[in-house]
Structure 1
Amino acid sequence: MVLHSSWSICLTRPLILLSCTLFLLRCDLADAFPSCRLPVVGRSRPIAQRPALSLFSQVDTTSMIQGAEGLDVKNLKPVVLCPAQFGTQRDYEDLQKTLLKRGFNLYPAPLSRLDWLKIVPSTLTKEFFTASLRPSKTLGFFYSALDRAFEQVEKDYGVDVEVAVLGHSIGGWVARSYIAEVLGEEKAKKRIRSLVTLGTPHNPPPKDSIVSAVDQTRGLLSYINENFPNGFPLDASAVTCVAGKGTVTPRGLMDVISKVGEKLWDEKQRRSKLLEEIVALASYFPLSGKAFETEGDGLIPVEVAVLAECRSVIIENCNHAAFVPTPGKSLRLPETYEWYGTESAVDQWIQFL
């Protein structure tokens, strides 16, 4: 089944490009595709040995969601996580451990790869083609996963505990929608302590840009911004938008192709600056209307990731994610590719949870 171009461009283009980058960056494909018999060139970071998850794997929410075995959770502050597109709980295990050391108990929404396919029927509707999709109908699978995460929090802490919500990438605006549509104003202000978004594309391209006519979320983001501006029903002071400056695109095309040999591969960093620039150019342009001389986390420009009336935290040398989803285990990027979940980055936004 082929998805309509607007939705697929918005949500899968950057992942496809980044996946290509990872292939060229010599990632260990055997971790994602155990049946592959490609020679292992090297591994960027140690990965625990466990059976690879398939696209259809069932998620064990009981064992994975608590993340604080042997500790009294009452001494930890609960945080519900809205993952990035195609993200699962296992993709955030390192972040879960990092937050645990800092006194927070992370509850990722228990999504499997298969769950994400539930968005496909929405691409075949009139609302999709008229860019009038509504979150409550389109994101029901995500809402259900968040319901389960909140239920686990209540089981561990009781129904009156205050909860922080953390949204990564599109999970940030899904969180805004869930808080408003599912929890509602009264419950949200009583139960939600804070909302922190990491590299979330909150803003559409400027109206005078050549890409503004294409609503890449087919109405979802427009609806959220019009009805739930600046994190409503939460006070703007309770919302923090974190943006990264991991990749600044060149001034022009000649700068992209200049010194290709030097930028193609950095053996020490285990990265390719050239390919990172190409990925950023391809992602920044449809999101902001600008390609060159644009700062962002490699996928999301800074100006797109912040809300005008909310607190902003801009982190230098911070990229979008430490993983790229596959039908099996996610591909891991090198440790030199720092992201929002790197400990030094976490320390810059954790105070706002």
Structure 2
Amino acid sequence: MPLPTVILPGYLAGAIDYQQMQHTLAEMGVPTVTVPLRKRDWFPTLGGRSVLPILERLDQTVQQVRQQHGTEQINLVGHSAGGWIARIYLGENLYDVHGMIDGSSKGVPGAKQVYAWNAHHYVAHLVTLGTPQTSYERWTLKNLNFVNLSYPGAFYADVHYLCVAGKAVFGARQRGSWLAYSSYQLTGGRGDCWGDGITPIAAAHLEGAENITLDHVWHSPRSPGRWYGTPEVVHQWAKPLINS
């Protein structure tokens, strides 16, 4: 039987947006749980602040799933920002780029464990969907710089990284493509390229990972076309989860 899978929603998204993705994976024989987030759970992270509240909810869900299924490992699927947050979760470096640990606790034995999950031991496959692995957005730089300096590329050899990009919109300074152009430029530094309408292909891929690009796939469930959670699209990227 495949390992259980945990889905981490994207920025400002709730678990309800991933019901179809979760249901499709379950129909494929993959027991799946979505981190039970609501949109308001993201509010403390606005403006580039610490994503610690999301990491804590992710860890709670992963540990519950491991206990429920009696398994050492799980698979992790991160959509959009959920993908790079998952990369923080895998790591053992202290995540305190926002100074949330006061000086009195930094030398206390065990304090680091609260802010460094070292969870790559728990994760067999990490799948990122439309994740901006890099970005020029000033409000994401502190977090993403931490990720990419601490864990560059497909950092952990014991984890299989699959990074999925969508190719739906070519960014251009014209009606219908302006939002994509602006988002691609903010994320990757160039607007005139292909992407899923939010994340350009180049930014969604990661050095050393298995990188794939899916045609006509948009970024979010509110997009005008198929997105990463559409059943037929899930079947295109979920094979590693079935074979785990």
Q: How does 1:257-336 map to 2 (within 5 A)?
A: 274-275=175-176, 277-292=177-192, 294-323=193-222, 333-334=223-224
CA RMSD of aligned residues (A): 2.0
**Does the 8 Å contact 1:110/1:148 carry over to 2?**
no
CA drift at 1:155: 3.2
Q: Which amino acid aligns with 2:77?
A: L
Shift of 1:144: 1.5
Q: Which residue of 2 aligns with 1:188?
A: 120
1:166 aligned to 2:89?
no
Q: TM-score, normalised by structure 1?
A: 0.58
C-alpha separation in 2, matches of 1:167 and 1:102: 18
Indicate whether 1:348 and 2:219 are aligned. no
Q: Distance in 1 between matches of 2:53 and 2:190?
A: 33
Q: CA 1:162–1:236 in 2, change beyond 3 Å: closer, same or farther?
A: closer
Amino acid at match of 1:283: S
Which structure's residues are more often helix, by fraction? 1
SS where residue 238 of structure 2 aligns?
Answer: helix
Q: Which residue of 1 aligns with 2:65?
A: 153
- Corresponding residue for residue 134 of structure 2: 203
After superposition, residues 111-130 of structure 1 pair within 5 angstroms as: 111-120=37-46, 123=47
Output the CA distance in 2 between the equivalents of 1:320 and 1:296: 9
CA distance in 1, matches of 2:135, 2:51: 19
Check if 1:224 corresponds to 2:136: no
Structure 1 position 281, deviation (Å): 1.4
Map residues 3-14 of structure 1 onto 2, 5 A cutoff: none
Q: Match of 2:160, as an amino acid? A: A
Question: Which residue of 92, 96, 99 corresponds with 2:25?
Answer: 99
C-alpha distance after superposition, 1:194-245 (max 9, x if no partner):
101000000235xxxxxxxx6341411011101111243x228610110000
Q: Which residue number corresponds to residue 87 of structure 1? A: 13
Q: Which runs of 4+ in 1 moved over 6 A?
A: none
SS in 1 for 2:11: coil
Choose 1 or 2 for highest CA Rg.
Answer: 1
The 8 Å contact of residues 135 and 141 in structure 2, kept in 1 or not, is answered as no
TM-score (norm 2): 0.82
Listed as ranges, the gaps of 5+ residues in structure 1 are 1-74, 206-213, 257-273, 324-332
